[in-house]
Amino acid sequence: MTPAVLVRGLRKAFDDHTVLESLDLEIRRGAVFALLGPNGAGKTTTVRILATQLLPDAGSVRVAGHDPASEPDAVRRAIGVTGQFAAVDDLFTGRENLQLMADLHHLGRSGRARVTELLRRFDLVDAAGRPASTYSGGMRRRLDLAMGLMGRPEILFLDEPTTGLDPRTRRALWDLVRELAADGVTVLLTTQYLEEADQLAERVAVLDGGRIVAEGTPEELKRRVGGGHVRLRFADPDDVARAGSVLPAAVTDPATLSVRVPGEGFGAVREVVDVLETAGLVAVDLSVHTPDLDDVFLTLTGKVTS
Amino acid sequence: MTAATAPVADVWTMSRRQLRRIRRYPSLTVMLVGLPVVFLLLFVFVLGGTLSGGLGGSSYVDYVVPGVLAMTVASVVQGPIISVAQDMSEGIIARFRTMAIFRPSVLAGHVLGGLLQVVLGVVVVLGVSVAIGFRPDAGPADWAGVLGLVIVFGAALTWLAVAMGLAADSVETASNVGLPLTLLPFLGSGFVPTDSMPGSLRVFAEYQPFTPVTETLRGLLLAAPVPTSTWLLALGWCVVIGVGGYLWARRGYERR
């Protein structure tokens, strides 16, 4: 089966500012794929090219097997798009917004039932008769997503779907994305939240400076950064030095009075505690650090996110 | 839904969308239609007493109404300029672009909505005109001609307005770009005969779009003969403005 999205050597510049250098991307059908990167990395530009809103300068692009540049309508029939800024008509009620989408998908009589179904699924029944301008941020995002799903797309582009949402609303949206994935919809998600990619995506590509700098499952990416460590903090520099000598694998940092001991899990912690006790050392603080995608990003790009 | 009827369905859907938007924002329509009514009253009651002195005795209200009607079209199409610019600033247009719909349907919806406002404006202005003493001599065929010209001229100016709305960077600039259009009717035969104007201005005034349109409306409403060259020039301008506006609008829509 052809991949849902296949991109080779994609290049895009605005005037003399190159946004995408040479982008390669392959997303299998049914996958949830996260494109992770800081602001200005080229995430939105990538989505806009895939969604037929923007023409690439060079490279080959296939979405659902079609070229967005030469067969835009074939691509448009296969996709649903939810942008960073909710694309709803503020003067329309929630129901009217959905009915508009139903009409544009030429659903005819079945449109009404589909509108009601989506209102129910996205928990908008009570607000269905109110203008979208009165909706909260979370409700707008849900309405936006519901509108993008009207045509039952095979591929859904979610461009920073949870930017600006509070944590609870974000989690509710994650659940919706998981449901869609369970239905077999391919999802390309862009995000600057590492946790979001970790939570939702089976594959993650890290975008920086217009290129994919790393790609893999969240676990693979974390492994690239190396394992976790136990972090200890001491009251004075002498203790730091002594800890360094009794724990041969440790990395000491006298400036912050801290010691990092490679290792993960309960066993590592117990070993460290045993060694310290035998040596008669007392740490003022002990924490276990498991690598997350923030570490991945830092390691790969040398930049700190958010 | 077949491939042949889909564009019609999309234009219909977008037109209904625009009509609903117009209904949801009635103050804009009231303002658009109100302005030419104010100008009508201003010209008839404030300036008319003096201006009619130069007309050789004929009633000034009869003279000025066709001019105000042409001006009404220019004034009402300020609405589409603003509503297009406003629409473009909202995310929903970006959504439409990612959907397999007939591309010009968004713009066609604005044009049909704008045209409806134009017809409404003209009807209101005509009603007020009759109430303040305008007595047209037009027969059924003349009225059909008036309606036809209003629609053709209105459609042409609305396409131009849509293009202007697309060219505006923001809703704020959109409310200014239409200004030349509202001033143009005054540099024509709508309010005073062009004979009284100085040389080059007079040439401009006689050939600019509003003058042949006004003259044709005046002839039809007062059941006076309209020279062929006049109504041909009027229709010619409508075609030029309409086609030019349509092409400019399509380019503007593709560009954004």
Q: What is the pLDDT of residues B57-101, one digit of tens each?
A: 678 888 899 999 999 999 999 999 998 998 888 878 888 989 999
Calpha distance A145→A185 (Å, rounded): 13
pLDDT, residue B187, reads 87
- Domain residue ranges of chain A, discontinuous segments joined by +: 5-88+135-223, 227-290
Q: Which of residues 14-53 of B touch A (CB under 8 A)?
A: 17, 20-21, 24-25
CATH class of the domain defined by A227-290 = alpha beta
Distance from CA of B248 to the nearest CA of A (A): 19
What is the sign of the dihedral through the CA atoms of A63, A65, A71 and A75?
Answer: negative
Calpha distance B82→B49 (Å, rounded): 35
Is A296 a residue whose pLDDT tops 80? no
Give the pLDDT band (50/70/90) at residue B3.
Answer: low
Is A266 a residue whose pLDDT tops 90? no
Using CB atoms, pick whichever of B13, B21, B25 lies closest to residue A104.
Answer: B13
Q: Are strands A79-82 and A211-216 parallel, antiparallel or unpaired?
A: unpaired
Distance from CA of B73 to the nearest CA of A (A): 25
Is A306 a residue whose pLDDT tops 60? no
Q: What is the pLDDT of residues B177-195, one digit of tens each?
A: 888 888 899 888 888 888 8
**Mutate which: B98, B103, B254, vs A, most A CBs within 10 A:** B98
**Mutate which: A76, A91, A110, vs B, most B CBs within 10 A:** A91
**Mutate which: A76, A81, A100, A143, vs B, most B CBs within 10 A:** A100
Where helices occur in A153-264 by DSSP H, the ranges are 167-182, 194-200, 218-224, 237-246
Determine the average pLDDT of the residues in B232-253.
94
Determine the average pLDDT of the residues in A31-52.
90
Token pair for A240: 């730091």
What type of residue sits at position A86?
A: A
A8 vs A252, higher pLDDT: A8
What homologous superfamily does CATH list for A5-88+135-223? P-loop containing nucleotide triphosphate hydrolases (3.40.50.300)
Q: What is the pLDDT of residues A200-253, one digit of tens each?
A: 999 999 998 888 988 999 888 877 776 678 889 999 889 998 988 898 888 888
Specify whether the CB–CB gap between A64 and A155 falls below 8 A.
yes
Is A288 a residue whose pLDDT tops 90? no
- Beta bridge partners, A187, equal A32, A156
Distance from CA of A183 to the nearest CA of B (A): 21
B52 vs A306, higher pLDDT: B52
pLDDT, residue A224, reads 75
Report the side by side order of strands in the sheet with A5-14: A17-27, A5-14, A58-63
Q: Which residues of A touch B98 (CB under 8 A)?
A: 51-53, 76, 79, 81
pLDDT, residue A227, reads 67
State whether A104 and B95 contact (CB < 8 Å): no
Using CB atoms, pick whichever of B1, B10, B98 lies closest to residue A79.
Answer: B98
Distance from CA of A265 to the nearest CA of B (A): 47
Determine the average pLDDT of the residues in B120-147.
92
Q: Give the containing element (helix H, strand E) for A43.
A: helix A43-50
Determine the average pLDDT of the residues in B110-117.
94
Q: Is residue B173 part of a domain?
A: yes
Judged by a CB distance cut-off of 8 A, whether residue A109 touches chain B is no
Q: Is residue B55 part of a domain?
A: yes
Q: How many domains does chain B have?
A: 1
What is the sign of the dihedral through the CA atoms of B167, B170, B175 and B180?
Answer: negative
Q: Is residue B244 part of a domain?
A: yes
Q: Is residue B155 part of a domain?
A: yes
Cα A31–Cα A112–Cα A88 angle in degrees, nearest 5? 60
Q: What is the pLDDT of residues B135-179, one digit of tens each?
A: 988 889 999 999 999 999 999 999 999 999 999 888 888 888 888
Give the pLDDT band (50/70/90) at residue B199.
Answer: confident
Is B196 a residue whose pLDDT tops 50? yes
Ramachandran area for residue A52 (φ above 0: left; ψ -120 to 50: alpha; else beta)? left
Reference A189, options A46, A12, A3; nearest CA is: A46
Q: What is the pLDDT of residues A110-129, one digit of tens each?
A: 999 999 999 999 999 999 99
Q: What is the pLDDT of residues A241-250, one digit of tens each?
A: 898 889 888 8
Q: Which domain holds residue B183?
A: 6-255
pLDDT, residue B2, reads 57
Calpha distance A34→A293 (Å, rounded): 12
Q: Is residue B1 part of a domain?
A: no
Q: What is the mean pLDDT of chain B?
A: 89
